[in-house]
Amino acid sequence: MSTKRIQYDDRTLSSAIAVDERAAYAESVALAESMLAEKTGQGSDFLGWLELPTKTTDAELDAISSCAANLRTKADLLICIGIGGSYLGARAAIDFLGSSFEDQRTPRVVFAGHNLNSDYLSDLKKLVDTRNVAVNVISKSGTTTEPGVVFRIVRKWMEEKYGRAEAAARTVATTDPAKGALRTLATQEGYTTFPIPADVGGRFSVLTAVGLVPIAFAGIDIKKLLAGAREAQKFCSGPSIDTNMAARYAVNRNILFRRGKLIEVLASFQPQLHFVGEWYKQLSGESEGKNMTGIFPASLDYTTDLHSMGQWMQEGVRTVFETFMVLKGTATTLTVPKFDKNDDGLDFLVGRSVEEINRNAYRGTLLAHQDGGVPVATITLDDRSPETLGQLFYFFEKMVGISGYLLRVNPFDQPGVEAYKKNMFALFNKPGYEEQSKALAARVKMLEG
């Protein structure tokens, strides 16, 4: 008997999607489920994420937790170096489950390697100089430009501060189990290492050591996270959209997409969900945006963004549908106080909780956007717990796998990501890119006058 901590409510789509439209997808959903379960579809070499919740052993989780505990005896700050799926899942988890303010988090995890900015790195250097620091570098190959460059810089700082041997003792490498530049370096320097499974792509890797090492360092119970994901396996499987919650969401998205709703806005009503939205954008966009098709994923933070993007959502081009994320309960409750004078006209809210006000902001927004012609549905989360987040992670991953197959694309590759990398290598005259470098030189000259 599964304990469902998340709900997907699409009753508000009844005016936009007819029952027989969903029924028409029955055969396609069954086929997608079969291709995933039997590994017969495109990208079948990268389906290891499907069984991570049940196949990850307590011994593996204990090893990660033990490593994190050891690092906490040396450091109160972990620099997590990675890009894309190598950092977004961990950041989403730590933001969702931790304090709203980073300075209040003990121990603290900061992220680098996802941008190329000297000012950002110079500010990071100040943390290295003033804090007890450990490093988790995450890269399957070790040659990805952004984390590779940043790790070179941070490694130099660490060795200057602690000496080479102690810097190595404070460094964990999450990488390919057998090969690659980072694996070679880790062996040479004696870094603690954890493997990135060969059959799990980066954007599906949050429940591997990629996400679990920094999450565990932050003091989050990773066994509970995996336990939640195991529960989600139960209600996100099977050929029927009446019992497979992930498949139902995937079908709704595809029906709306084929009707010209090309953009999905994932709108959350809690600031702690911001990076869940960022993680989802990569998961969805990199999985579905291929062959000149795919739903464009966007995320907004309400009520904040209602005062910036609210006008567009209400009356802009009707190419959008919206999925709300709302939290059923918060850990604390604050109420509106009373003053002698009603100067701000808000006495009608005295004694009301902030969450009650937020809940009615959600209801009011849903009804307004629905009246404005935006198809809307809602994902409700029971609480801010590791179990709930584990369910949400797995639900989104399974939905994207099904949705990709419904769109007739390979949801587990990302050939388009390589285009900018090849151009960048050519612009630096990397060995092997000489001919491309010559071809790009003229175009760059034209761009820059």
Same domain, 246 and 366: yes
pLDDT higher than 80, residue 238? yes
Q: Contact at 8 Å (CB) between 86 and 202?
A: yes
Indicate the residue among 196, 220, 244 that finishes a domain: 220
Average pLDDT over residues 194-223: 97
The lowest-confidence range among 72-86, 397-411, 418-432 is 418-432
Q: Collapsing DSSP states into helix, strand and coil, what is residue 110?
A: strand
Indicate the residue among 173, 201, 220 that finishes a domain: 220
Burial zone of 161 (CB within 10 Å; 0-12 exposed, 13-18 middle, 19+ buried): middle
Residue 250 falls within a domain, yes or no? yes
Residue 411 falls within a domain, yes or no? no
HSE, CB side, 13 Å, CA atoms: give it for residue 184.
6
Looking up residue 75, the CATH number of its domain turns out to be 3.40.50.10490
Same domain, 210 and 322: no
Token couple for 376: 């809307």
Average pLDDT over residues 226-245: 97
Same domain, 233 and 109: no
Same domain, 73 and 205: yes
Same domain, 180 and 201: yes
Residue 233 falls within a domain, yes or no? yes
The pLDDT score that the predictor gives to residue 226 is 98
Instruction: Give residue-wise pLDDT tens across range 345-362.
Output: 999 999 999 999 999 999
Same domain, 184 and 90: yes
HSE, CB side, 13 Å, CA atoms: give it for residue 346.
12
Band of pLDDT at residue 2, cut at 50, 70 and 90: low
The lowest-confidence range among 97-101, 386-390, 442-446 is 442-446
Residue 63 falls within a domain, yes or no? yes
The pLDDT score that the predictor gives to residue 423 is 83
The pLDDT score that the predictor gives to residue 428 is 81
The pLDDT score that the predictor gives to residue 357 is 97
pLDDT higher than 60, residue 38? yes
Same domain, 33 and 148: no
Token couple for 265: 């806005």
The pLDDT score that the predictor gives to residue 70 is 97
Same domain, 435 and 296: no
- Any idea which residue has 């000496």 for tokens? 163
Band of pLDDT at residue 439, cut at 50, 70 and 90: confident
Same domain, 85 and 163: yes
Instruction: Give residue-wise pLDDT tens across range 115-148.
Output: 999 999 999 999 999 999 999 999 999 989 999 9
Rounded (5°) CA angle 121-125-130: 150
Same domain, 271 and 346: yes
The pLDDT score that the predictor gives to residue 445 is 75
Residue 71 falls within a domain, yes or no? yes
Residues 167-187 as b or e (16 or more Cβ within 10 Å = b): bbbbbbbbbbeeebebbebbe
Residue 13 falls within a domain, yes or no? yes
Active site residues: 286, 307, 421
Q: Contact at 8 Å (CB) between 294 and 407?
A: yes
Q: Contact at 8 Å (CB) between 209 and 174?
A: yes
Q: Kindly tell me the sign of the dihedral angle through the C-alpha atoms of 236, 237, 239, 242.
A: negative
Amino acid code (one letter) for 53: P
- Any idea which residue has 């690092």 for tokens? 71
Host domain of residue 62: 49-220
Nearest-angstrom CA–CA distance, 358 and 362: 6
Residue 1 falls within a domain, yes or no? no
Q: Collapsing DSSP states into helix, strand and coil, what is residue 81?
A: strand
Indicate the residue among 181, 198, 220 that finishes a domain: 220
pLDDT higher than 90, residue 427? no
The pLDDT score that the predictor gives to residue 265 is 98
The pLDDT score that the predictor gives to residue 237 is 97
HSE, CB side, 13 Å, CA atoms: give it for residue 248.
18
Token couple for 271: 């600031």
Q: Collapsing DSSP states into helix, strand and coil, what is residue 391?
A: helix
Instruction: Give residue-wise pLDDT tens across range 253-303.
Output: 999 999 999 999 999 999 999 999 999 999 999 999 999 999 999 999 999
Residue 331 falls within a domain, yes or no? yes
- Any idea which residue has 């998340």 for tokens? 6
Same domain, 429 and 370: no
Nearest-angstrom CA–CA distance, 311 and 448: 36
Of the candidates 129, 97, 122, 94, the one whose C-alpha atom is nearest the C-alpha of residue 110 is 94
Same domain, 243 and 211: no
Nearest-angstrom CA–CA distance, 12 and 15: 7
pLDDT higher than 90, residue 449? no
Token couple for 449: 């006058």
Q: Using the 8-state DSSP alphabet, how is residue 238 labeled? A: S
Looking at the DSSP bridge assignments, the partners of residue 194 are 174
Instruction: Give residue-wise pLDDT tens across range 290-309.
Output: 999 999 999 999 999 999 99
Band of pLDDT at residue 447, cut at 50, 70 and 90: confident
Number of domains present in the structure of the chain: 3
Band of pLDDT at residue 163, cut at 50, 70 and 90: very high
